[in-house]
Amino acid sequence: MKNVLVTGGAGFIGSNFIRYLLDVEKNVQVFNLDALTYAGSLENLKDLPDPLRYTFIKGDITDQSFLDAVLRERQVDTIVHFAAESHVDRSILGPAQFMHTNIIGTFTLLEAARKYWLQENDFPRDQIRFHHISTDEVFGSLAPGEPAWTEETPYAPNSPYAASKASSDHLVRSYGHTYGLPYSLTNCSNNYGPYHFPEKLIPLIILSALDEKALPVYGDGQQIRDWLHVEDHCRAIHLVVTKGANGSSYNIGGENQPANLTIVETICDILDELKPRTNGNPYRELIQFVKDRPGHDRRYAMDSSRIQRELGWSPRHTLKDGLCDTVNWYLSHPEWVLAIRKQQDYQAWLTKNYDTREKTS
């Protein structure tokens, strides 16, 4: 690994991965390709470790000639592909952009890698890697008591977002099988941590609580997710890219299954300790149940035994400690929050998705 192209590196997980990579790999050059859509921001990439080994490139992963030039000019030997539309609610209201970015974008990137690596330069196969970041949502939904998903679980996506990611996963596998493109793939559970765009549940609840706004909880709040701290996720990705077997996929989970309501209540309790309300009342009184979103998956659970067995990875953050660290990060970075809130359609989206949603209690 010498010249690494990270797509979507101005987003939440991608920016955390760039920080991690620059910290642990002292000889790599990192090229961050990002279109800087609403969820990507250069605010996420300030104060990088060893910034002289980092280059930002603004561009669109659906632009074939542009991608061809980037790989050739930067002599890219490793691609870590984060770039994707990722918010289920947005995919329900506007699925077309998800199909364009997640499916066409991944196809275009695969074509660029195939041409440059396998046709133009004939790189040694053990010196190149296309790593694709995917999601647990491709597996669908679990009933209470059902076993956690393994890498062999059949895909059953239930939202336009999940379907677009399932499609991109299949494309990556097909390029490995048909063309011999070296690849690896990871399916992760819900991430949380620093630099998380505040439309997602955990940062939304933290910042809404601090603003004394209602804390929206879909349905009865008993949807179950497996929460993975982004630093644990970045460590897992690095292990898979550098040590994972060619053509393998790995599930990455945080080894917990709280209900969404439990997450919200835990954040409220942490804020009660760290930043009490001026009126002295608990933050839990701000919780507001709202109409559930269409087709909301009930339960996710990941079996991460393969990556633990083969690569020795396990999560280092407990959920409680990770949430405390995350709340503290948002409290100590008001300038980042202010900058992100000024971006494009952030406030308009919150109004569209939450303010008009029917209250149920």
Known catalytic residues are 136-137, 161
The residue to which tokens 């000019």 are assigned: 73
DSSP state letters, 75-90: T--EEEE------HHH
> Which tokens is 211 given?
């603003």
Gyration radius of the chain's alpha carbons: 20
| Phi-psi sector, 186: left (phi>0), alpha (psi -120 to 50), beta | beta
Assess contact for 252 and 236: CB atoms under 8 A.
yes
Distances (CA, A) of 63 to 2, 70, 82, 325, 354: 24, 11, 16, 39, 34
Q: Which amino acid is at 73?
A: E
Return the exposure string of 226-261: e unless at least 16 CB atoms fall within 10 Å of the residue's CB, then b: bbbbbbbbbbbbbbbbeebeeebbbbbbbbbbbbbb
Q: Which residues contact 109 (CB under 8 A, 6 or more apart)?
A: 7, 61, 67, 79, 81, 130
For the packed helices 160-179 and 105-113, what is the interaxial angle rounded to 10 degrees? 20
Q: What are the DSSP E strand ranges found in 88-241?
A: 129-135, 183-188, 190-192, 215-218, 227-229
| Other Cβ atoms closer than 10 A to 311 | 18
The rounded distance, in Å, linking the Cα atoms of 185 and 187 is 7
CA distance to 71, 136, 239, per residue, from 225 (Å):
37, 10, 24
